[in-house]
Amino acid sequence: MPQVIFLPHAKHCPDGMVVEAETGQSILEVAHDNHIELESACGGVCACTTCHCVIREGFQSLEEADELEENLLDCVWGLEITSRLSCQAKIGLGDIAVEIPKYSLNHAAEILH
């Protein structure tokens, strides 16, 4: 099983975490399954940018972003070449390292998962 390395984030994952994930799961699903409360104001349906993350290692193992995700990524704070929406980025066969940005553009926080 591929491993997902969540890099330390002061609010969501202070110590960082390494977890196993199933191929085809979204990064958002993996985070929530492991009690990392990554934001997702739209509920993970690719309608906002609050679940923005940056892939620090293993970017090439993810499926390519579709046009809708690419358009939404143009609106994120701190966009990088390896930015993805965690609700859309599906785990491939390789390990990845994920950084949760310090800020997001969330105008409506939802309940915890």
- Which amino acid is residue 31, in one-letter code? A
Profile the chain (113 residues) by mean pLDDT over runs of 10 residues.
96 93 97 94 93 97 95 93 97 97 62 48
Domain boundaries, the chain: 3-99
Which pLDDT belongs to residue 108?
Answer: 47
pTM for this one? 0.90
What are phi and psi for residue 58, nearest 5 degrees?
A: 85, 15
Quick check: 86 and 101 in contact, CB under 8 A? no
| DSSP E strand stretches across 1-113 | 3-6, 17-20, 52-57, 83-85, 96-99
Domain covering 3-99, topology: Ubiquitin-like (UB roll) (3.10.20)
SS3 assignment, position 52: strand
Q: Which residues pair with 90 in a beta bridge?
A: 26
